[in-house]
Amino acid sequence: MRKYLAFFRLHFTMGLQYRTAAFAGIATQFVWGTMEILMFRAFYQTPDNGVFPMSFEAACAYVWMQQAFLALFMAWMMDNDIFTCIMDGNVSYELCRPIDLYHMWFSRSLASRCSKAVLRCMPILLVAAFLPKPYGLMAPVGAEAFLLFLLTLATGLAVTVAFCMLIYISAFFTLSPDGIRMVAMSVVEFFSGAVIPLPFFPDRIRGFMELLPFASMQNVPLRIYSGDLSGSAMVRAILVQFLWLFLLVAAGKILNALAMRKITLQGG
């Protein structure tokens, strides 16, 4: 366990060095968040739209929290070095170490995402908190909701990394991981609520989408924070989160074991 914590600390510290990239990301996320909120404002002000599944204030909180913690959940923020070391054969050096490859890459991916989020989240949260109502970031609905938000935020991050691990390991079985990677990014973006929050989908479709692993990434913590997800539905969503975390990690380890049996490096 200590060696994987060492990997985490090393890559977390390395990730904190990219401050210029973080400043550029903060500016981009402010612009994107503002565009999304203006889009929601136009939607909410359209006559005869009926009853909305989320309040406008909750939708704004969803957008700002999504932008603040973007690095934790976006599938397109993968570690290109992992793909490179698989494709050029340098993974052989990793296999010579007395470590578990899956655990090492998992801790490395966690560290990379956490370091990016740490650099970007505070400026976005601070500015969003001081924006006028209802466009700013609302306070959590209660202390219990905030604690559950933190719990599900960490679990959602782990689910995201566990899913990305499947994409990394799939590179052992393909000539190029680009195709699988692009499909996976598109699926995660749509089904996780990154493009449209899941409450805005029709009930039958939403019920199906909430059972998928992608809904356990950002959908659950962001909706708990704003109070849109509570009661028995919240308990169910949290249980589904832990279930998918277990299943994805188990699937990743099985796939990794299969890859290690048939791995071919430098034609040998």
pLDDT in tens, 80-139: 888 888 887 778 777 777 788 888 889 989 998 998 888 888 888 998 988 888 888 888
Longest CA–CA separation in the chain, Å: 67
Write down the domain spans for the chain.
2-262
Band of the pLDDT at 49, cuts 50, 70, 90? low
CA distance 176 to 191: 25
- Against a cut of 0.85, is the pTM above it? yes
Burial class (CB in 10 A: 0-12, 13-18, 19+), 115: buried
Average pLDDT taken over every residue of the chain: 86
**Average confidence (pLDDT) over 53-69:** 90
CA distance 144 to 205: 29
Side chain identity at 256, as an amino acid letter? N
**Average confidence (pLDDT) over 154-182:** 89
CA distance 15 to 111: 8
Q: Which residues contact 109 (CB under 8 A, 6 or more apart)?
A: 78, 79, 82, 161, 164, 165
